[in-house]
Amino acid sequence: MQCRAGARASVSAGGEAYDHAIWDGGGMDIDGFWAIIEGSGRGTDPIERGERIERALAELSVEDLLDFQDYLDEQMSRVDGDLMGEAATLILCGCGDDSFCRFQAWLVGLGRKTLDRVADDPDLLADEPEVQRLAERHPRDWTNEEYPWFEKLEFAAVHEYERRELDPGQIYDALRARDVRDTTPHQDREAGDRDPNEALPRLTAMFGGRMWD
């Protein structure tokens, strides 16, 4: 399970372009997964960032591609559950199931350290500059670059698998057939009885009082 070593992406950040190695190859493991995510350029245009991820995935073997999707599912499951759902609802001014999945992918896109911090305490999202920039404006005024969704990441491996196999949905059959990694069970977002004002005091202060026409 090898990909060509030294796949690189030219990332623009803060007005400066830099050449960033996104993965040096080898069998896909959790470190390789995060190397692809973090090497794609947090804070850059999500479409361009998604394309950098897609180019990295195009270098992978089928087994490594399935591993990547396994790791993505595993990391997204860490930020599932009722309290993170409440956080997404506050930030987005409402959040359905599809929006929540895109929000979870966006959280993964914030990087390993951030995901580790907020998985157990969603209120710590208040520390993230990407969240702080959203607090004072209506969601309709957010730019595409700011919007807390990352649909390109959510479906990157699926689209690459379909491109190779020419059979939409086959990646899910392949993942079920492998059954090699248990993900954390998804929690019922409606099951919690905690008051979000108490559980998410900082996010509530930032987003809870907004009144939009």
Domain assignment present for residue 169? The answer is: yes
Domain assignment present for residue 1? The answer is: no
Decide the pairing of beta strands 16-23 and 7-13.
antiparallel
Dump pLDDT digits (tens) for 74-122: 999 999 999 999 999 999 999 999 999 999 999 999 999 999 999 999 9
Domain assignment present for residue 180? The answer is: yes
Domain assignment present for residue 32? The answer is: yes
Domain assignment present for residue 61? The answer is: yes
Residue span of the structural domain in which 42 resides:
7-208
Look up residue 82 and give its two tokens. 């009722």
Mean pLDDT computed over 189-205 = 75
Domain assignment present for residue 213? The answer is: no
Residue 27: pLDDT band with limits 50, 70, 90 = confident
Query: Which residues are CB-neighbours of 204 under 8 A, at least 6 positions away?
Result: 90, 196, 197
Nearest to 79 by CA among 32, 125, 41: 125
Residue 190 predicted with pLDDT over 50 = no
